[in-house]
Amino acid sequence: MGNLPDNFYSLVAVNDGLIVGQIGMEVYTAPRRKHVSNIGMGVSETHQKKGIGSKLLEAMLDLAVNWLAIRRIELEVYIDNVSGKALYEKFGFEVEGEAKQYAFRNGAYVDVYYMAKVVASA
């Protein structure tokens, strides 16, 4: 992953020497948003439904909350990614909004949900 900025973190899942999943997190640097991060994740199609996404998300949430003092974690998930949305909900993320025609994919515009998890202060 080359030279990542100081405010970006990346974790990978490896199986038989191959990267089969990755999660990245950007921690915002603006003074009023230093408690907020945004994550993005992907797991190869051949390795989905095996708990890899859960392990990656669990590890990144631990880093965010317990080591970086992040209190709000944001993400976007395509509306048709039912299993991805369910995974995020399992970890306490909630839909906060929807963006129409957010991205161009496979010849069509697709919508996303904006989701976030707010962690209570200790």
Widest Cα–Cα separation across the chain:
46
pTM as predicted? 0.90
22 alpha-carbon distance from chain centroid = 10
Q: How many CB atoms lie within 10 A of CB 31?
A: 6
What is the model's pLDDT at position 86? 96
Retrieve residue 7's tokens.
């405010």
**What tokens were used for 11?**
């974790």
Q: Determine what percent of the chain is predicted with pLDDT higher than 70.
A: 97
pLDDT digit string, tens, across residues 30-53: 999 999 999 999 999 889 889 999
Candidates 36, 42, 34, 35; CA nearest to 11 is: 42
How confident is the model over 79-101, as pLDDT tens digits?
Answer: 999 999 999 999 999 999 999 99
